[in-house]
Amino acid sequence: MKLLGYANCFGNVKQRLFKKKSGGVLRQNAVKKYAYLERCYGSAQIGRQSCLPIRRACEMLNVSGFYEWRHCDKAHRFGIVETDDFIVQTLKAIIKNSCGGHIPGVLVCYHYLREKGLSIDLKRLRRLMRENGLFHCFHRKYIQTTDSEHYLLRAPNLLQQHFDDFGINEAWCGDITYLPTNEGWLYLASVIDLGTRRLVGYSFGARMDKRLVMDALSKAFRHERPRAGCLFHSDQGSQYYSQAFQQQLHNYQMINSMTRRGQCWDNAPAESFWATLKRETLPANGCFESRAEAQRQVRDWLLYYNGLRPHSKQQMKSPNEYYAQLLTAS
């Protein structure tokens, strides 16, 4: 009786799926048959929760490998084969609409394309970006901006390269970089929140002095108001060792930490931030027309960085998105 009941149930399911609701799926190609099985599987009409096993349903449609098909990415599942031209046009549209005209790195472009359901490997993406002028190949010779040859007392390295062990506004890192222009150097000081990788303060200047880093820290503190005991980490530059800057940290009740001498990876988040900024903002000749032009373009990029640019350390979310996620979780 049980076997007879199963047979009746099986026959009813078969008739319902492949005669009344299939829409002629028996005459379609394998991709459409897989898609139809996926819809039936999602609504529990086939599979373990029904009378019709997946294997038997595949036999009825004369296909196999349903589970392998389900584990493929979306593009391969539905038989979409993207041409090089299609990928390049899609990428240019992404750069224009989602990146504010800034050309991001390969990993960010790869993330955007995957979000749109396009399947492409990194090697092919790098080749297409190079061939179509969408790849940043410009690198300037390293120029040292840190003056660590001074008599001032140095703070200990409290961070010890533990960059990912902090919450919102528990630890900041600061640094200075240079931007080449036809009018001379333009210096930029930054303050980055290690908990979210947000840029919380910055300052431009034609001179690399203590006022540059003090302005950046002042803007960050006014905007964020961190609790007492927030760690501020920097290199051993004389600007950060100046009496005025140390007094500013004391007034803000912040704890000072500094890198070891000549160890740039002790401040890796700041160094990585500068590399990304220059790679995505510097013109092809490696020099801005003027300081005003450099400030305008870099300010636009900083807004894009905080608000839109995916960050690999933040699960490919922008710093602002990750910040909002942490606030919601808390």
Give the tens place of pLDDT for each residue, 171-193. Answer: 999 999 999 999 999 999 999 99
**Structural domain span for residue 293:** 171-329
Is the pLDDT at 9 greater than 60? The verdict is: no
Cα 126 to Cα 130: distance, rounded to the nearest angstrom? 6
Is the pLDDT at 44 greater than 80? The verdict is: no
Mean of pLDDT values over 282-300: 92
Q: Are 255 and 229 in contact (CB under 8 A)?
A: yes
Report pLDDT digits (tens) over 236-273.
888 998 999 999 999 999 999 999 877 788 999 999 99
Mean of pLDDT values over 3-18: 48
Q: Are residues 96 and 223 in the same domain?
A: no
Q: Are residues 325 and 176 in the same domain?
A: yes
**138-142, 155-159, 167-171, range with the lowest pLDDT:** 138-142
Q: Are residues 64 and 91 in the same domain?
A: no
pLDDT, mean over the chain: 81
Is the pLDDT at 325 greater than 90? The verdict is: yes
Q: Are residues 206 and 99 in the same domain?
A: no
Cα 158 to Cα 232: distance, rounded to the nearest angstrom? 10
252 or 72, which is more confident: 252
| Helix, strand, or coil (residue 174) | strand
Q: Are residues 206 and 287 in the same domain?
A: yes
Residue 276 makes CB contacts below 8 A (sequence gap 6+) with 105, 305
Q: Are residues 185 and 317 in the same domain?
A: yes
160 or 47, which is more confident: 160
137 or 232, which is more confident: 232
Count how many domains the chain has. 3
* R_g over Cα of the chain: 28
Cα 129 to Cα 323: distance, rounded to the nearest angstrom? 31
Cα 306 to Cα 197: distance, rounded to the nearest angstrom? 8
Strand order in the sheet with 255-258: 198-205, 184-193, 171-181, 231-234, 255-258
